[in-house]
Structure 1
Amino acid sequence: MNVIERIEHWGDTHHPRWLDIMRIALGIVIFMKGVTFLADTESLRRLIEETHIQIYTWGAVHYIAFSHLVGGILIAIGLITRVAIGFQLPILIGAVFFVNITRGLSFLNSELWVSIIVLLLLSLFFVVGSGPYSLDQQMREREKVR
């Protein structure tokens, strides 16, 4: 059993059911953030340009919006959760360390705190997995029956 399988097994055996409510809420929040980014791509483009990182700005805008929309849905329903979170982690790391932290570490910077909380929750669910109330779990149970 390699490291990833051991982490997955530990996450599956130590997953309280109330954590699934948190996963569903996190997926909805990420999806809604994707909708707001899609509604105002110009502000997202300005945020990316403010970081002064040499990347293709419009490519990053589309990656972020698409990842939030699709990833939010996948996280909420619990389908390939770890993969969806894997696409979200670089976005949130960039949001915390390159975008929001430039505005200062104050309690008035609510976007920074929301980004930190979402990053911590994503890291948690990357380890513990999708949980018992997810499509991943239903698919595993169907495989056992066959």
Structure 2
Amino acid sequence: MNSVKFLNKWANAHTYFPVDLVRMALGVFLFSKGVTFITNLQYLADLLSPIDKFGGGMILLHYVASAHILGGILIFFGLLTRWAIIAQLPILIGAIVINFMGEMHSQNLFLSLVTLGICIIFLIYGSGKHSADYYFKMQE
């Protein structure tokens, strides 16, 4: 718990508006990916086809889409950012693994790696000073 408080204090002391814009862009990107997956379930099913033989395909389809939509909204507003990113990590790691198990899509691999990197940065950094978390903390 002390390490989270330390990270929050450090992040709030070193918050810059462009970093918050990157967090908001990540939220919009994840939300739009979730909407894309919901509107085109066949595309998501095709992406997940290399691991379809392991079972739980329909549960996985619904987890990916809902986690991206809800996580994108939370990350955009900076509310429970670390928890939302923790929910995204298995999806992003799975996206990277799927590229090596099935047909290699270099664009999807690059996009997954960049998104995973940004998520890890915000997992450490937190939501920053221009966020709902910071606003609610200041209201106490």
TM-score normalized with structure 2 length: 0.89
4+ residue runs of structure 1 moved beyond 4 angstroms?
none
Gaps of at least 5 residues in structure 1 are none
1:53: Cα distance to partner?
6.0
| Distance in 1 (alpha carbons) for counterparts of 2:23 and 2:31 | 12
Structure with the larger helix share: 2
CA contact 2:92–2:115 (8 Å) conserved in 1: yes
1:40: Cα distance to partner?
1.1
| Distance in 1 (alpha carbons) for counterparts of 2:16 and 2:53 | 40
Correspondence list, 1:23-42, <5 A: 23-42=23-42
| Distance in 2 (alpha carbons) for counterparts of 1:21 and 1:32 | 16
CA contact 1:27–1:71 (8 Å) conserved in 2: yes
What amino acid sits opposite 1:42 in the alignment? Q
- Confirm or deny that 1:122 pairs with 2:119: yes
CA contact 1:30–1:69 (8 Å) conserved in 2: yes
CA contact 1:27–1:76 (8 Å) conserved in 2: yes
Match of 1:111 in 2: 108
Identity of aligned residues (%): 37
Match of 2:10 in 1: 10
1:52: Cα distance to partner?
5.2
CA contact 2:64–2:91 (8 Å) conserved in 1: yes
CA contact 1:8–1:127 (8 Å) conserved in 2: no
| Distance in 2 (alpha carbons) for counterparts of 1:11 and 1:123 | 14
1:73: Cα distance to partner?
0.6
Secondary structure of 1:131's counterpart equals coil
1:49: Cα distance to partner?
2.5
Q: Deviations over 1:18-60 (max 9, x none)?
A: 1000000010000000000001112212222213562400000
Match of 2:46 in 1: 46
CA contact 2:7–2:126 (8 Å) conserved in 1: no
| Distance in 1 (alpha carbons) for counterparts of 2:106 and 2:19 | 27
1:110: Cα distance to partner?
1.1
RMSD after superposition = 1.8
